[in-house]
Structures are given as C-alpha cells and as structure tokens.
Amino acid sequence: MREISASEAKTHLPRLFGDVERGETIVITRHRQPIARLIPEESKRREDTARDLSDLDELRKIMPRLGIDDIPLARHSSFVDASVAAARAEHLILV
C-alpha cells in the first residue's frame, strides 16, 4: 500500500489508475491524513489471488521440503540443488 498526497494524485491520476489495475492499493492523503483509498475491483483481486495461489502450489511441487533446521542453511548457501533451481527457473519462464 502506497500513500500519496492529494495534489500528487490530481497530477498523476491516469498513472494511479494503471497501478490500481495491476493490483496496488493507494491511499490519498491531505496534510498526512488519509482521505481516500483507491483499491482494485473485488473480482480482479479474487482473480489475482487465485492465480497467485496456483503459482505458489506449482512452486511448492518443485521445491525440496526443508525441515526447520535446514532453513538457515538454505538461506546462506547453495543448499537447493541445481536441478531444482533449473526446474524452478523453467516454471517461472513458462508462467
């Protein structure tokens, strides 16, 4: 969620509509107090959420299962083998 002043919103309204169409929520302020909120249409948000959850499920299928003790290792090393990384990259390119 991004905050912008009312004067900036007036100047850049077409750009803000594009940002909202892409799923962003924008709070318009006057004197740093919220006065309005631009939010994506409900059906668009549902579609985006469904697509994101589907993408997450696909990613989970190709990623290795990690135990709680493996997470620090995975963050700071090449713990995930190259074949999984390649499959993940291919999946992301196809999506």
Mean pLDDT, contiguous 10-residue spans, the chain (95 residues): 94 94 92 94 80 85 75 62 58 56
CA 13 to CA 36: how far, in whole Å? 13
> What pLDDT does residue 28 have?
97
Same domain, 87 and 53: yes
pLDDT score recorded for residue 8: 96
Rounded Cα gap, residues 37 and 5, in angstroms: 11
pLDDT of residue 41: 84
Number of independent structural domains in the chain: 2
Angle at 26 between CA 50 and CA 41, to 5 degrees: 40
Q: Which residues contact 69 (CB under 8 A, 6 or more apart)?
A: none
- Domain extent at residue 31: 2-38
Domain identity same for 69 and 49: yes
pLDDT of residue 77: 59
- pTM > 0.75: no
On the CB side of 22, CA atoms within 13 Å amount to 8
Question: In this structure, are 65 and 90 located in the same domain?
Answer: yes
- The pLDDT of residue 84 is 59
